[in-house]
Amino acid sequence: MPDLFPAQHYDDYLILNIDLKPGRIKNWRKPVATDIEKMIEANQEN
């Protein structure tokens, strides 16, 4: 799981904290193009 997901994560299981008023994930860091490129490259290597 890439580092852009906040909190704990195991394979395809995510534990997310949601701020209910605005309906947003707390501690979310919006991915940039280089983050996505790194994820694609890592998947191609495996």
CB atoms closer than 10 angstroms to residue 43: 9
Residue 20 is predicted with a pLDDT of 92
Phi, psi angle pair for 36, to nearest 5°: -70, -40
Name the pTM for this structure: 0.44
Report pLDDT for 40: 86
pLDDT, tens digit, for every residue of 1-46?
A: 456 565 555 666 677 788 999 988 887 778 889 888 888 888 787 6
Q: What pLDDT shows up at residue 7? A: 59
